[in-house]
Structure 1
Amino acid sequence: MKHLPQLAIAALLCTALGTAQAGTMYRYKDDNGRTVISNTVPSDASRRGYQILNSQGRVEKTVDPAPTDEEIAKRAKQQQQEQRAESQREADAQLLRTYSHPDDAVRALRRKLQELQSLVQLKRGNIAVLDSQLQEQQSKAADLERAGRDVPDNLTTRIERLQSQKRDIEQEIRQQNMETDRIRRTFENKIERLETLTGEKRSLELTPSDTAANTDAQ
């Protein structure tokens, strides 16, 4: 069926408005693309969008079509991008409140690495003490075995306890080194971002040569 000409649409509008008297009327397209004027809007037509008419047949409000899946996905992506941008602005503001120049962040990194290095050195000192004690206990056990005597359970227990303590501290050092690497990467990102935000380049090395050498030795 062909679309109604404009005069026919106007006549239909007048008839519909007269029938509905002062009630709200709607204008929409049906499944075949024909213009329909009615006092109700089918759900499938409402998804395509419609217009609300007053008693004089003038458009009071236009209801846009429901968004497609593609449009919904696009809006969601845009919202995520806006949220990330806002998060970045907040992070940048906090970074600039903390450091006014990239070199300030370099100095903070150096202090943090020095603290972590001191902790590792302390743990290595504890391992050295345990090694000395372990060597002493193992030497006693070896002397007893050479003499053809049984190694007492309490001596075996002490040796196992010392070995366990040593393993625990070694694990702590490994975890400390991983934490050091994580902190270094975090600060490197901060320093790079500060260079972008301030337009200034760092003039200091990330780690002093002696600190870097000690870290490599570990």
Structure 2
Amino acid sequence: MKRAAVLWLLPVLWWPALSPAAPARPDPEAGTVMYRHTTPDGNIAISATLSQQAIFAGYQVLDHNGRVLKEVAPAPPEAQARRRQELAQRQQAERQARQDEELRRLYAGPEDAVRARERQVDALELKIGYARNTLVQLENKRDEEIRNAARAERAGRDVPDGTREAIERYNRQIADTREEMAAHHQDIEAVRAQYEPIIERLRQLEAGGRSSPTP
């Protein structure tokens, strides 16, 4: 059975964007141009800019001839932890910004998202209505076959094979229809749960926009 496709966007906590630490530049007086450090996998990396990885691992400052001008010890554990936390927060803020941009592209505002949610719910409820009507018809047909079987038994006759098969067929169709209805009900709950954080985030963005000072 083909299930209704539903949109899923999970919100993440908003963190203020943090400016990355500016990379260290060569000392013009010493003529340094390169930085060398050992990577976690044991390889030697040489770069013209000082990377976070080099700061964490410790590095050598080289001149243009490759001579070592200075050796710098690894950053203290607390500094490494602080830098990693800043990087994680900045990356999280960038992900949130991209998701916010996508939300604004998809929805004009929270009311627009509410309408989109209700359209999906209405479509699923319509399918439930169709399935409910089908269920009533199947149950009526099965009950008629059951009455036919009962009349045959009261008359002392064997229940015809066609009647037994019809009863079994209708029972299978009834079970399938009930399963379909249950699946649609689950889809409705899923749609509401999935739109809840979307609508809430759009409300936050709208409130933030209203509170922003006019330039």
1:108 and 1:194 map into 2 onto residues whose CA distance is 13
Q: Does 2:73 align with 1:64?
A: yes
Question: What is the 5 A alignment of 1:200-215?
Answer: none
* CA drift at 1:94: 0.7
* CA shift in 2, pair 1:160/1:74, >3 Å: farther
Partner of 1:118: 126
Aligned Cα root-mean-square deviation (Å): 3.1
* CA drift at 1:84: 3.6
| Larger Rg over CA atoms | 1
The CA deviation string for residues 91-145 of structure 1, in whole angstroms up to 9 with x for no partner, is 1111111112211111112222111111110111110110111111111011111
SS at match of 1:199: helix
* CA drift at 1:81: 4.6
The CA deviation string for residues 178-202 of structure 1, in whole angstroms up to 9 with x for no partner, is 11101011112111111101118xx
SS at match of 1:149: coil
The gaps in structure 2 that reach 5 residues or longer are 1-55, 209-215
2:149 maps to which of 141, 146, 169: 141
* CA drift at 1:85: 3.2
Partner of 1:184: 192
- Given the two structures, how large is their TM-score scaled by the length of structure 2? 0.59
The gaps in structure 1 that reach 5 residues or longer are 1-46, 201-218
SS at match of 2:69: strand
- Tell me: higher relative CO, structure 1 or 2? Use CA pairs within 8 A at least 6 residues apart: 2
Partner of 1:18: none
2:179 and 2:94 map into 1 onto residues whose CA distance is 40
Partner of 2:96: 88
* CA shift in 2, pair 1:171/1:78, >3 Å: farther
Question: What is the 5 A alignment of 1:2-41?
Answer: none
Poorly superposed stretches of 4+, deviation over 6 Å: 70-77
> Which amino acid in structure 2 is aligned with residue 61 of structure 1?
K
Report the structure, 1 or 2, having the larger helix content.
Answer: 1
2:194 and 2:143 map into 1 onto residues whose CA distance is 41
* Percent pairwise identity: 39
2:61 and 2:102 map into 1 onto residues whose CA distance is 50
